[in-house]
Structure 1
């Protein structure tokens, strides 16, 4: 049923004939036009409409609220056009009234589709913008399907579930209201706080959210520091204080800062705070140190922090005692800095003066909100059984939940299913093994430091994961031997313990099998699932590799492939499941040509023939190892004899990748291919995490 124009909008359209013509297909599609006006922001004027979807559209796409439609009459789309639209969302009447994660844009620019697609790929925290070319909307043939087809093409094109970086904006920030409220209260009372949790539980996103909220008060200065960054951890304690002071003053103080010698650094830090408060008219100061274990004894990468933590935190405590409206928030994986009274011969200055919050998974309601709201812009609706199943499998872990939903979308696209898509528990159960195989690399990232920091607790987790509940309960009864498993929310409770993340339990059990030498240490994709596994994995590798190129460029790292990215990417779809030596060699050749030979060609173009073994190996060590594995295995399949160096590398990789039972099996060809793909995507994630710090 066609949509209607609200009476209040008709006078506006009588003076804007072009806009009226552009709206015709939206009315045909079933959208009502409820409001209209022009808006100017940053010297850019746009026409704004609010659309209300029909019941049928709302059911299909999950629209609960009205939608923003913006029209730009200019012949070019620019970032300021998007900023003008963003401003609409924060002002009346749109504020709190419209769908928060998407909008429509009509433009007179001839390249609207391409520009918006490129913008959204580069700005993954942006709302989804569905572009419409004005020329297409005014054609005589334009109708309801002109709008629906564009929705199908763009609204469902970008996978907003698959975003693995900390969130700097509010657009896709979900939940954590309770934890945020707690920390806000601490900061407004100038009390010290700590946030600890496993990797990828959203600690850094929460800290940036904290900064955004606190700095709405212009008299509250907040700075967030990354303890893992060499800019902080490589400095000695007095230099670190100077670095923090420089960041806090933001060039607002006249003249240079004092010298921050070892003898005077503590007094000079306090002096800077006092002067800053007066000059900038501040009432409160908060410093936030993320990844604090990097400047904590026993876990610090730089040895001077084994002793210099004492001077650093004593200076902070001295400043707090004299200027009581100065507080610290620390965060990380290892809570030793807040839990232990001593480090060696030294008392811990922070012991007893920091209130600790352990960040677990999202609550069930928060997890459901994340899944459903992003689902709207991905074109997927999860029924209540599916929502519950997701929460039971991933315990509200924000990254794992999002990636699980991303996998559902990818599998549907591979199968050619029409969108919008409705997902029930049965689909999740059917895809579970393949999906969790996809997530295993991220799970490894989550638990690696648990094993590193608390090896005894990790062994208890292994026992529980392989079903030895009695062994776990005995360990849990022995004082503090399982404390952090409970605090992190990895294990439910001492009375009825189970691993809350089923995907994590599967991973730990698999690693236990490998460590104890049980046959088939590697969990192979089932034969019937391998074609789908290969398709999805190669797509993920291509996407993540392009993301790595972008992040590496921003970090001024050596280019991997040069300006043309990896030009053989289209050949990836020719890869086949490895069933024997020939098919293994064929797919490895495609991978080698796409990635390694592309690097070699770029190196040759800049007159560096050993570019892969020099620059790439030095700048991307994890990626080099994964790509070198592919090259070595490929050469083994295509050459009768290998030079001694390559032969040695082959033996090393085979020893790492195949146990004896698997090496003697006819499954070894698929196992080698799966290992190459597994290690390649894991390496990309490692490099991304390292470069984004």
Structure 2
């Protein structure tokens, strides 16, 4: 906002269609904002009637909330806020220039005295709604001071976390980047080309599909999205799946074209019936049909939940049918395949049958955000929340998280949670970002695990390569890369790695940090001191968790009195007499009780019925593992630790750690 905007009214502002009460409110607004347009009466349906004005925020609102465009203000003289009020804002916005009116912020002035509560009830399950600042008629008739307006804006901007979106985005409102990719895919569909789009989990695949659908609708083109994750689709046989697609197209196009009943779609006739229906629909549309298959791995060989797709030949027969129809007809339909796992187009054979879509098209991968796209997203959302990020943060977060929008949003969300509303607006620099990054990697590693799990599940060799590279074992990594060039294709495509000349490096530093943390106990060639250090650290950490689990499960199963007696009996002799006065909980307090790692193993063995569902191994194996871990304690330095003994310790420790992690 370069020019100074002062409160007042435009000389052409007209308000003759407003009531006297509303005119008083308009005068109040003109003392805080600059009113540019008196609007008109908006009628929705047969009886709903609303009025609106458009105002421009003064400079203080730009400084506090980054509001530099005009804002729609809707007057609702109904005593209760209705859901249709949101449609009024959309109706007005369509009449205004998209460059003129703010997309995120609107103002509602309502006769509902409980307007804030009513609005909260309406938007509580709609995370993608714009920010609506509510006022009641009564509040604004009193000509409140400037701080009243600013505090109300502060309440609705600074308390809402615009970064914290978990579900796929359905609207353009908070959708950033990817526009070039969307246009490329749309152009391919329109030109009759088929495409495949792949990306790691949470890279925004479904949000991108929604973006494609919205952009096609702007050209009055409807697309049929087939959610392969839906059991009503993936549990069908291949010929029944063709019927489902026809049904989906009929529903999306709202066409009256009839097609045979489901039982007519047999293994012999399903392909023919599908082709005839496609032809009829295309003729009615005067153009091709667009199909989008989301979560394609749910009907792919080896990865589908249903056996007939995963282990049978349904995948091959399904795509044989669609490809045959596609090749026989020009401009009849085109499709887009979307998923995390491109195996379905990489396998030349499906159970000795040629894969119909093997090398049918070159797969596209969803790229990470550039620094420019990261800046656009974080800056726009952050400034609405009173967070003004230093320029250096945009490049740093892009580098650390490889431009992964989901991860970057969540780190920014942690920053937001750490800053009080009263401290905003505030500058966010390198220090605040560094703190949030550490917190994210430490406490939210489940997001990182979810993202790379596709590699663990389907590309174990490539995942091993990441481990080698993270640990600096470049020679082994380069051997794999040279012998199997295809191994690096997925890693580069997913954006996990980048290549500069002949050197590979991590593109997402946080993934590297996570792999190092998860694989820190896989290093080989350790010195004797390093082996003892690892044993001590892991044993002591597990002992704390083990003590907690035993204390809780034993008490829950036996009650405090009997559970205490079990523990004292394990102690036996003088220790039993000495510790008898302690309470049950105190027996497990290392500061008050001499309870050892070996005691914990004996308790589990003696009361196995209490713990048998908590450990994957048998009673004998669990006890044997605990005994070996105890015998490998760090105070056994007197004996030399062999490589075989250390390897066995790691196996035992990993097993116990996994059980404890699930329990804790």
TM-score by length of structure 2 reads 0.77
CA pair 87-437 structure 1, distance change in 2 beyond 3 A: farther
CA pair 460-19 structure 1, distance change in 2 beyond 3 A: same
Q: Does 1:503 align with 2:514?
A: no
2:314 paired residue among 308, 324, 338: 308
Q: Does 1:197 align with 2:203?
A: no
Separation in structure 2 between the aligned mates of residue 77 and residue 522 of structure 1, nearest angstrom: 63
Q: Does 1:171 align with 2:137?
A: no
2:302 paired residue among 295, 298, 304: 298
Judge which range, 300-309 or 186-195, deviates more: 300-309
Task: Please list, as runs of the form range in 1=range in 2, the aligned pairs for 1:207-606 lying within 5 A after superposition.
Answer: 207-218=209-220, 220-250=221-251, 252-254=256-258, 256-257=260-261, 259-278=264-283, 280-305=284-309, 306-325=312-331, 326-413=333-420, 418-478=423-483, 479-493=485-499, 495-514=502-521
CA contact (8 A) 1:404 1:439 kept: no
Secondary structure of the corresponding residue to residue 171 of structure 1: coil
1:404 to partner: Cα distance: 0.9
CA pair 100-274 structure 1, distance change in 2 beyond 3 A: same
1:64 paired residue among 68, 82, 88: 68
Secondary structure of the corresponding residue to residue 170 of structure 1: coil
CA contact (8 A) 1:58 1:64 kept: yes
* Corresponding residue number in structure 2 for 1:104: 107
Judge which range, 79-88 or 18-27, deviates more: 18-27
Secondary structure of the corresponding residue to residue 480 of structure 1: helix
**Residue deviations 1:353-394, cap 9 Å, x none?**
224211121222222211122223323221211222221221
Q: How many residue pairs were aligned? A: 561
* Corresponding residue number in structure 2 for 1:87: 91
Separation in structure 1 between the aligned mates of residue 134 and residue 616 of structure 2, nearest angstrom: 51
Secondary structure of the corresponding residue to residue 457 of structure 1: helix
* Corresponding residue number in structure 2 for 1:671: none
**Residue deviations 1:54-102, cap 9 Å, x none?**
223212211232222222111110110111112222222x532122112
* Corresponding residue number in structure 2 for 1:32: 34
Structure 1 residue runs of 5 or longer lacking an equivalent are 525-579, 593-632, 666-673, 682-693
Q: Does 1:50 align with 2:54?
A: yes
CA contact (8 A) 2:36 2:55 kept: yes
CA pair 217-660 structure 1, distance change in 2 beyond 3 A: farther
Separation in structure 2 between the aligned mates of residue 676 and residue 155 of structure 1, nearest angstrom: 44
1:255 to partner: Cα distance: 6.3
Structure 2 residue runs of 5 or longer lacking an equivalent are 525-530, 539-543, 557-584, 590-599, 635-656
1:153 to partner: Cα distance: 1.4
1:456 to partner: Cα distance: 0.8
1:207 to partner: Cα distance: 1.3
CA pair 14-359 structure 1, distance change in 2 beyond 3 A: closer
1:650 to partner: Cα distance: 5.0
Separation in structure 1 between the aligned mates of residue 141 and residue 494 of structure 2, nearest angstrom: 57
Separation in structure 2 between the aligned mates of residue 522 and residue 3 of structure 1, nearest angstrom: 69
* Corresponding residue number in structure 1 for 2:161: 159
**Residue deviations 1:201-241, cap 9 Å, x none?**
111111122122223444x4411112222111111000000
RMSD: 3.7
Q: Does 1:18 align with 2:24?
A: no
**Residue deviations 1:16-41, cap 9 Å, x none?**
44234324554444x21112212425
Separation in structure 1 between the aligned mates of residue 295 and residue 18 of structure 2, nearest angstrom: 58
Separation in structure 1 between the aligned mates of residue 423 and residue 522 of structure 2, nearest angstrom: 43
Secondary structure of the corresponding residue to residue 122 of structure 1: coil
1:267 to partner: Cα distance: 0.6
Q: Specify the structure having the higher radius of gyration (Cα).
A: 2
TM-score by length of structure 1 reads 0.74
CA contact (8 A) 2:197 2:366 kept: yes
Judge which range, 239-248 or 15-24, deviates more: 15-24
CA pair 482-254 structure 1, distance change in 2 beyond 3 A: closer
Separation in structure 2 between the aligned mates of residue 201 and residue 292 of structure 1, nearest angstrom: 16
CA pair 350-14 structure 1, distance change in 2 beyond 3 A: closer
Secondary structure of the corresponding residue to residue 498 of structure 1: strand
Separation in structure 2 between the aligned mates of residue 504 and residue 34 of structure 1, nearest angstrom: 50
